[in-house]
Structure 1
Amino acid sequence: PSGGPLPPPLHPATHEPIGPEALAPLFPMALIEQEVSTERFTDIPDEVREVYKLWRPTPLYRAHRLEKALDTPARIYYKYEGVSPAGSHKPNTAVAQAYYNKQAGIKRLATETGAGQWGSALAMACNIFDIELKVYMVKVSYHQKPYRRVMMETWGAQVVASPTGDSQAGRAILEQDPDSPGSLGIAISEASEDAATKDDTNYSLGSVLNHVLLHQTVVGQDFRQRGEYLFRDLFPHPASRRVVWRIDKGKIDRRIRLIEPLAEARFDIPRPDSGGVGDIAGVDVPPQPRQDRPIPLGEKAPPPAARQRLQPKCPRPAIQIQHRRTVQTPREHAEQRLFHHPGNGPGSAAGWGEQFPASH
Structure 2
Amino acid sequence: MPLILNSTTIHTILTDPSHLPTFSHTLLTGLLTPSTSPHRTSTTTPHGTTTLFMPCTQRSTTSLKTVSLPLNSPPNATITLHSSHTGTLLAVLSGSEITAFRTALTSLLLVRARTQRGVRVRKVVIIGAGKQAEWVLRLLPWAAGCMAEELDVGIYTRSGSESVKARIKISGYRALERGELEREVKSAEALFCCTPSTEPVVPVEWVVEGEKRGRYVSLIGSYREDMVEVEPGLLVREGWSVCVDRKEACFVESGEVIKSGIAREQVEEVAEVVERVQREGELGVGDERWLGNVVFKCVGVAVMDLVVSEEIVRIAEETGVGEVIRNFE
Q: Normalised by the size of structure 1, how large is the TM-score?
A: 0.31
Max Rg structure = 1
Higher helix proportion, which one? 2
Higher strand proportion, which one? 2
Q: Normalised by the size of structure 2, how large is the TM-score?
A: 0.33
